[in-house]
Amino acid sequence: MPLRTARKRRVQTDYDRTALFYEKRYLSIQWEKYSIMMENHLKGCILDLGCGTGLLSEYLHSRIVGIDISFKMLDQARTRERVVQGDMDFLPFRNEVFDAVVSFTSLQNLSDVNPALKEVRRVLKSGSPFIVTLLNKGSSVEKEIEKYFTIISIRQCGEDIGFICW
């Protein structure tokens, strides 16, 4: 699907450029975030939103489903998880198919988080967890998340702010 905004094309290009050195720079930082947020074992079909190079799949020892806008990040992720290239504002999945949706350090790339949150609500089975972190830019993302989910826990997660929701 063609990208609808210049901002998204820029994000895609930026991450395509970052892909080769992403893990060297961020592996241990992201790993630390996973350990803060992923205390319970997730079961069933899991979607990783903005999966990047697939580090979360490696952490979980599980072949989850990853979606990302950057082809180059996905080139690395495809050995670890089942990947789909796409935009998280328009998820190419049926309603209520996932048992959990997880997203680390990705939503801050969006100019408006509402379309992606609405899509997560649509594809997530009712009563299932949504675990999300994003770079803490001091904006009121909490209010946006609360439009679609019940927040169970808010955690400082390195540079990110993390939410565990239902």
Ligand X SMILES: C[S@@+](CC[C@H](N)C(=O)[O-])C[C@H]1O[C@@H](n2cnc3c(N)ncnc32)[C@H](O)[C@@H]1O
Using CB under 6 A, list all residues that contact ligand X.
8, 11, 15, 30, 50-52, 55-56, 67-70, 73, 87-89, 104-106, 109-110
Please name every residue paired with 51 in a beta bridge, in sequence order, or none if there are none. Answer: none
Give the residue with the Cβ less far from ligand X, 55 or 100. Answer: 55
Residue nearest to ligand X (CB): 52
Residues 6+ apart with CB under 8 A from 99: 42, 43, 44, 45, 46, 125, 128
Give the residue with the Cβ less far from ligand X, 8 or 82: 8
Whose Cβ is closer to ligand X: residue 77's or residue 149's? Answer: 77
The nearest distance, CB 103 to ligand X, in angstroms, is: 7
Contacts of 13 (CB under 8 A, 6+ apart): none
Q: Are 108 and 132 in contact (CB under 8 A)?
A: no
Which amino acid is it at 158? G
CB of 23 to ligand X, least distance (A): 8
